[in-house]
Structure formats: structure tokens, C-alpha cells
Chain A
């Protein structure tokens, strides 16, 4: 059973600080990794995709991938109250026929 694990939280971070969200996956052959943000009652919104080991930066967001350790993380710099949401990690394996495997999400709360 291929799995994606996330700490459910809530993770509470002061406004202006760095929020760090982590995700581990079981399928060593996974090749595509995605972070989505989901506000309560809304649909997931793509934040970033990452395919290669290392860091990928987009504005205040940085995704980090370590395939050897089978984890992917998302850093949010200068956290804002509007970043308060559930962050979902999704992974596609090499032989998954394009199916995404999803974590249950981490609830992030940014305290003003």
C-alpha cells in the first residue's frame, strides 16, 4: 500500500515567522511531488510542484525534496494570517498510472 504521511497538526506559527511543513512517502519510485493549499470548504489550490532533489523557490514558498530519505517539505517565509489553511502533499509514483496519492494534510494556523 503506497502511503503519504503528514502531521495533521495544527501547526501554530507566529506571523512573520517561517512555517515548515513535512511529508514522507513510501513509494521509493515516486517521481512527481506537489503541494496544495486548501482553505476550509474550498477545493485544493496548487502551490508548487517539484520533480528533482533539492530546493525550488517561488516567492515566499520553498519546496525541498530528498528522494533518498523519501521526504518533501514546504517552507513558508514571512508567514501571513492568510496562509492559515490545510496544506496537502500529493505524490505520483513511477508506475501509478498518473494517480496521485494524497496525505491527509497539515492544518497551519498563523497567529497575528
Chain B
């Protein structure tokens, strides 16, 4: 167990709808990263939040947005869902040190299906 939780575990939406996924960080961690993982692929970086600010973004359109709260929990919002958004969404929690290192620990993921 990593201490990172995600909700919901599974979700079914229809094309065009909006979805919010949630993540609670491991205690003491200050950084949250979100990934999308399609079947048979490695995780693709969506964005990262450090101390409530977006701190890097992958090649995802603006309809993917996020928030990090003062308690370092986080949300991923996806608007105007498309069929290709069907994937496992992973949240990873980490503590960024003054030396700039951090090791990411994953939550169980949210399986999103878009019909």
C-alpha cells in the first residue's frame, strides 16, 4: 500500500460529458502527477502539481485540467469526453526534495470508459 488513494475506481461516461477524478496524496508529500495509460502502453504524463501550482504539462489538450488543494490532494477534470479518453488514469504522489529528487508512488487508478 502506498497511501495514495483515488476515486472512483471505475467510471462510465458518454462522449461529450465531463468527468472529475480525485486523488489523495500520501501523507507528507507535496507533489502530484497525473498520467493516462492506454492498454498495452506505458503511462503518458498529463501534468504535475507542486505546492498547488501546475509544474509541467505533457502533450494533452486544454480540456484536461487540474487542481491541487492546500492539503495536497488533487483533481483531474476532463471536458468534452472523447472515445479515445478511455484509459486508466493514474495519480502519483511524491515529495520533492531540496536536491530536486522525488520518487513517485501510485494510487490504484481510475478506469474510465467513454461510450
Interface, chain A (partner B; CB < 8 A): 4, 32, 34, 36, 42-46, 49, 51, 88, 90, 96-105
27 residue pairs of the A-B complex, CB under 8 angstroms, read A34-B104, A36-B106, A43-B90, A43-B106, A43-B108, A44-B43, A45-B106, A46-B103, A46-B104, A46-B105, A88-B42, A97-B55, A98-B48, A98-B50, A98-B55, A98-B56, A98-B100, A99-B33, A99-B56, A99-B58, A100-B33, A100-B45, A100-B104, A102-B45, A104-B40, A104-B41, A105-B42
Shortest Cβ gap from A94 to chain B (Å): 10
Residue from A42, A100, A103 within 8 A of B108 (CB atoms):
A42
Q: Which residues of A lie under 8 Å from residue B90 when comparing CB positions? A: 43-44
Q: Which residues of A lie under 8 Å from residue B48 when comparing CB positions? A: 97-99
Shortest Cβ gap from A61 to chain B (Å): 15
Shortest Cβ gap from B57 to chain A (Å): 9
In this complex, how many residues of chain B approach chain A with their Cβ under 8 Å: the count is 27
- 7 further interface pairs, Cβ-Cβ under 8 Å (given A43-B108, A100-B43): A44-B43, A44-B90, A98-B55, A98-B96, A99-B33, A102-B45, A104-B42
The tally of CB-CB contacts under 8 A between chains A and B is 59
Interface, chain B (partner A; CB < 8 A): 2, 31, 33, 40-45, 48, 50, 55-56, 58, 88, 90, 96, 100-109
